[in-house]
Structure 1
Amino acid sequence: MTGREDEPDGAGSSEEGTAPEDNASESHDFDPQAFDAAFAEAFGEAVEPERTFRATGDSAAEPEPAPAGAGPESPTDEPAPRRVVAVVLTPIASAPALAGLCAIAKLDADIVPTRSGALAVRVIETAADDPSELLGGEPAEATELATVLSRTAKAGVVLLTARLGQGDEGLTGRISGRQFTAGASGEEVAAGLILAHADDVVEQILLGVTQPQDAPGRLAPKELGRWQAARLLGKATRRKRP
């Protein structure tokens, strides 16, 4: 009895021992296409998650239209031109005479009368890479104006230039002064001392409080005809004679 009962166990263990070999042979004969067909017949077609996500990702990945003026295709904003106010203080008492002189010499400036002498004012816009901005000197237009006018007076003239702008603490910048005599540039002068003895309108123009075209008694040489300029200059010359 005992020997016979052990035989099934031995047979069973023999079958179990051959099972791995059968499974190994079945794994080598696995047909993935047949498996997919059987899976589809039993559970329906499989949905591949990657395709679903790829479709969603493609639509989401489409670039949104960039706002106007933004993005690498938009042109880089160029720096705004800098404003320089140039004021030439002359000993010429008559503003019409100075206006006539500037008109004949074709000098672009606004003439403003003061008690100490007429002013020639010009507002100049300079680029950030202008040599005068890089080196801190006077703009070429201001130098030309002072050079020509300095030839008309033995005492010469004084050029004041203001480079001012709005900063975090208000109006910031620098006002510089230079003497011009007989058509030549001279030494720098203390702008503060000059302004201390000048009319208030000089400082107001330099600081931008008063625009040159709005100054009292302002004359524009470029608006004068040649005969008008000659008449104004002639009147001033006759008045100086005893």
Structure 2
Amino acid sequence: MSATSTPAAVQGEARVLAMLRQSVNVTKIADATTWPVAAVRRLAAREGLLLDEHGVPHVPGASPTQVALAQADVRELLRLAAACPDPQVKRARAKLEHAVAVLRGCLVEAEKRKERQAFAAQVIAEAERDIARLTAQLDQAKARLGQAKEIIGGERRARLPGPRRYRPGTDYDTKQARAWAKANGHGALLPTSGRWVPDEVIDAMRAAQGAPQTASPAAPENPS
């Protein structure tokens, strides 16, 4: 490496060198790092590593077993360690098995979390669709309710009597007017309570009695 090498270049070379020392095939190193195969070979030669006919680097003088161990994956290492009586190897094998078990458990939990998150996302999406649908239905129901109230209110306003022409106690006696209305077929027009008697009942009573159908002056408006 030259003195002007960038940190990225140094990091890239360190990665290639680490893979060479792990006896990774130079072609695979080139594919993984985008380094040219020729550059990987030059770096191996500079570090004193030999390449066999398959492009696999190894330390000069390393036995075939050492080369195989350098290339072995975790499963193969555990298999070889199980057959080795060395106490240090057994301890390392136990640690590796524990690490593999922990890693497997972490992967399982990660997969479970992924499934839970996917399920929660589905529930949220369905709930949001339900909320939108129910909100639309509620708005429609409110609109129908408002229309119905408007119709009922209009009908009630249409049934309200106009200004009263006769005043109880001045133009008629309430008890006498109510008694006459009930006796002469006008009872259905009477309110259930109160002193006021409808003007049409008073008109009918006055007409039957031959009295003029005129009210006293300044008769009050229909009270609420």
TM-score under structure 2 length normalisation: 0.27
The structure showing larger relative contact order (alpha-carbon pairs under 8 Å, at least 6 residues apart) is 1
> Which has the larger share of strand?
1
**Which structure would you say has the larger Rg?**
2
